[in-house]
Amino acid sequence: MSERDFRDVRVRVAENRFISGKLWFMRLEPLGSVPKPKAGQFLMLEVSSTYDPMGRRAFAIADYDDKSLWIYYDVVGRGTGLMSLFREGKEVRAFLPLGKGLFNYEGDRHLLIGGGVGLAGLTLLGKELRTLGKEVVFVYGAKSKEHLGMLEWLKREGFEYILYTDDGSVGRRGYVVEALRDFGKDWQISACGPYPMLKALYSQAKKTGHRLYLSLESRMACGWGVCLGCVIKSSEGKFLRVCYEGPVFNAESVRL
């Protein structure tokens, strides 16, 4: 019998605040014991105690402290809309830690590329790599300045970073994919963000010869491997579960 490492725990909302753009930040205090999350893992958060909406929502565990787990979320629909109304002290259920954190830890220099709220899928990785003594640079891109709300985290943690915005309102004007030109092949790339961004990175990394790992987002019903809703095609054409085999994949092993 395998270890019971998936926990469904009550969590208390310790902080829930708007940052900028569509981005919100929530700190959740588990009221039971939870295994220490690894980079790339996520949780499924109950957003309503009624059945409407019914499903839980998947969020990368962006960071944690002694008492709480941190998530960043964009308010994009009814579920996240309800979450933005959570008051401090509210208790909901969270199922965690889910997914395998199979990032690439090889090599000494790591470029972590996040698009929008996708950066939350890479923050723990940055900390883990730094603990291992590796050189870490974050590349963070979005439409415009107000969509780079996780900058507060990068600054507080003291990471080196490069910013890109579509409109040039802050950082470099352009797309994060351009960063690959400025970093040699000895830089390992991990990325998380919207699919068009990941696709662009994939074709660019092919040209430049960079090793690329992706943390994927997908529509999920269960988060623990049984609904088969979140699948992505492997390079051999078989469907893999983003929630269970992933969400982190070597870019060579999947078809975006």
Partner 1 sequence: MADLSIELFGIRFKNPVWVASGTFGYGIEATRIYDVSKLGAVVTKGISLRPRPGNETPRIIETPCGMLNSIGLQNPGVESFLKELYPQIEKIDTHFIANVFGESEEEYVEVCLALESAHKIVAYELNVSCPNVKKGGIVFGHDPKVLGSLVERIKAKIRKPLLVKLSPNVSDITEFAKVCVDSGADGLVLINTLLGMRINIRKARPELSTKTGGLSGPAILPVAVRMIWQTFERFGFRIPIVGVGGITTHEDALEHIYAGASAVQVGTANFYEPFAPLKVIEGLREFMEREGVESFSKLVGKAHRLDIKGDVNLSQKTLQDSFRKGGDTECRP
Q: Which of 85, 155, 194, 239 binds partner 1 (CB under 8 A)?
A: 239
Question: In the structure, how many helices (H) and strands (E) does the chain have?
Answer: 4, 17
Interface characters, 97-116, with partner 1 (x: CB under 8 A): --------------------
With CA atoms as reference, report the closest residue to 113 among 205, 247, 209.
205
**Smallest distance from partner 1 to CB 12, Å:** 19
Considering only 222, 248, 251, 254, the residue that binds partner 1 (CB under 8 A) is 222
Q: Does the footprint of partner 1 cover residue 228 (CB under 8 A)?
A: yes
Q: How far is the CB of 142 from partner 1 (least distance, A)?
A: 20
Per CB under 8 A, the segment of 117-125, 179-187, 191-199, 225-233 that binds partner 1 is 225-233
Burial class (CB in 10 A: 0-12, 13-18, 19+), 47: buried
Q: Is 122 among the residues that bind partner 1 (CB under 8 A)? A: no
Cα 241 to Cα 232: distance, rounded to the nearest angstrom:
6
CA-CA distance, 56 to 224, in Å (whole number)?
12
Return d(Cα 125, Cα 186) in angstroms, integer: 18
CB of 32 to partner 1, least distance (A): 13
Q: Is 82 in the site for partner 1 (CB under 8 A)?
A: no
Residue 8 binds partner 1, judged by CB under 8 A? yes
Q: Considering CB under 8 A, how many residues would be counted as binding partner 1?
A: 32
Q: Which of 187, 180, 204, 209 is nearest to 256 (CA)?
A: 204
| Max intra-chain CA distance, the chain | 54
Rounded CA separation 126/148 (Å): 17
Which of 36, 52, 87, 209 is the binder for partner 1 (CB under 8 A)?
Answer: 52
| Footprint on this chain of partner 1 (rule: CB under 8 A) | 1-6, 8, 46, 51-56, 95, 218-219, 221-222, 224-232, 237-239, 244
